[in-house]
């Protein structure tokens, strides 16, 4: 189920021809939100993260794209979609016309695509996670590389590498050989009462990650840091876990020849979900 500028369609095939032409040119910006119980999780955080990305990309944000005006559109989209315990909501922003030297900025249209999920975060099944480093390409370390669109291709390549080599997920590295997160989500490591996660980037940072990080910072039982994360730290960790909007927190079971426990991080995530 999708919405194009507030109008609803069952599939891309039912879109009017001008809208299809816009889609073929590809999106200039993207965002992914999660919906449970009819509401966007961490709606305010997710919205302002998206606004920040659009401004970085010099996108002319439609005047109708406010939280107040988006809410009924999202609610109607959920009502029209097949019933499910949760949904992923993807935004794609498209230029209305091709850019030119005379007019390098264009107003944008947007689509909202709703994908049903089988489980809410609190009941997400745990799956074995066998991970590896992705070293075919390295993400540049500059401001432009922090944008979601710029890093999305690296995540796609890493997913292909994982699939071809029998891994569940792969970790992305920047040009300084620091871990950014995985192709699908953020990385957390627990060692001797300390929880560490890589410095935030747009590839893996989303409203769920941001909110979980804020919650962890308030827990007095553990020390929490965002750090420049070296691959050498992986095998020192007692626990590793990956966090994504689609599958929630998934403990890592194996990295190379190291097996990991799964006690502290899953318990903390469960306690975090209880606060929602």
How many other C-beta atoms lie within 10 A of the C-beta of residue 95? 18
**Residue 190: burial class (beta carbons within 10 Å; 0-12, 13-18, 19+):** buried
Would you state the pLDDT for residue 20? 67
| Type and span of the H or E element at 17 | helix 17-24
139-162: pLDDT as tens digits: 887 665 556 566 788 889 999 999
Would you state the pLDDT for residue 202? 45
Phi–psi pair at 124, nearest 5 degrees: -70, 125
| Type and span of the H or E element at 172 | strand 169-173
Would you state the pLDDT for residue 158? 95
Neighbouring residues of 61: CB distance < 8 A, sequence distance ≥ 6: 51, 54, 55, 108
Would you state the pLDDT for residue 18? 64
Is residue 131 within 8 Å of residue 170, measured between CB atoms? yes
Compute the chain's Rg from CA coordinates. 19
Residue 26 clears pLDDT 90, i.e. is over it: no
pTM assigned to the model: 0.85
Tokens of 227: 């750090």
71-125: pLDDT as tens digits: 999 999 999 999 999 999 998 888 777 666 777 666 778 888 999 999 999 999 9
225-270: pLDDT as tens digits: 988 889 998 989 999 999 999 999 999 999 999 999 999 999 999 9
Question: Percentage of residues in the chain with pLDDT exceeding 70?
Answer: 88
Catalogue the long-range contacts made by 50-58 (C-beta closer than 8 Å, 24 or more residues apart): 50/91, 53/29, 53/147, 53/148, 53/202, 54/29, 54/93, 56/143, 56/147, 57/28, 57/29, 57/147, 57/149, 58/105
* DSSP helix, strand, coil percent of the chain (3-state; round to 5): 35, 30, 35
Which domains does the chain possess? Answer: 2-118 (3.30.470.10), 130-273 (3.20.10.10)
Residue 11 clears pLDDT 80, i.e. is over it: no
Would you state the pLDDT for residue 203? 44
Phi–psi pair at 186, nearest 5 degrees: -90, 160
Residue 4 clears pLDDT 80, i.e. is over it: no
């Amino acid at each position: 189920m999708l919405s194009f500028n507030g109008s609803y369609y069952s599939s891309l095939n039912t879109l009017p021809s001008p809208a299809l032409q816009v889609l073929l040119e590809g999106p200039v910006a993207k965002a992914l939100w999660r919906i449970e119980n009819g509401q966007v999780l961490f709606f305010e955080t997710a919205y302002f993260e998206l606004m920040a990305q659009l401004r970085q990309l010099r996108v002319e944000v439609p005047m109708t794209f406010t939280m107040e005006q988006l809410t009924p559109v999202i609610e109607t989209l959920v009502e029209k979609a097949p019933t499910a315990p949760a949904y992923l909501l993807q935004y794609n922003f498209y230029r209305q016309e091709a850019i030119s030297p005379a007019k390098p900025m264009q107003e944008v249209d947007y689509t909202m695509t709703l994908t049903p999920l089988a489980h809410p975060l609190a009941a997400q099944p745990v799956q074995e996670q066998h991970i590896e480093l992705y070293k075919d390409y390295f993400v540049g370390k500059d401001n432009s590389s922090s944008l979601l669109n710029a890093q999305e291709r690296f995540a796609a390549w890493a997913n292909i590498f994982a699939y071809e080599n029998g891994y569940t997920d792969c970790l992305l590295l920047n040009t300084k050989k620091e871990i950014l997160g995985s192709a699908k989500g953020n990385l957390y490591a627990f060692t001797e009462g300390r929880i560490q996660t890589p410095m935030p980037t747009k590839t893996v940072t989303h409203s769920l990650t941001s909110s979980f990080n804020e919650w962890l910072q308030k827990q007095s039982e553990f020390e929490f840091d965002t750090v420049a994360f070296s691959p050498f730290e992986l095998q020192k960790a007692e626990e590793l876990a990956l966090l994504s909007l689609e599958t929630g927190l998934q403990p890592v079971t194996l990295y190379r020849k190291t097996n990991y426990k799964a006690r502290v991080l899953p318990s903390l995530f469960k306690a975090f979900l209880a606060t929602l």
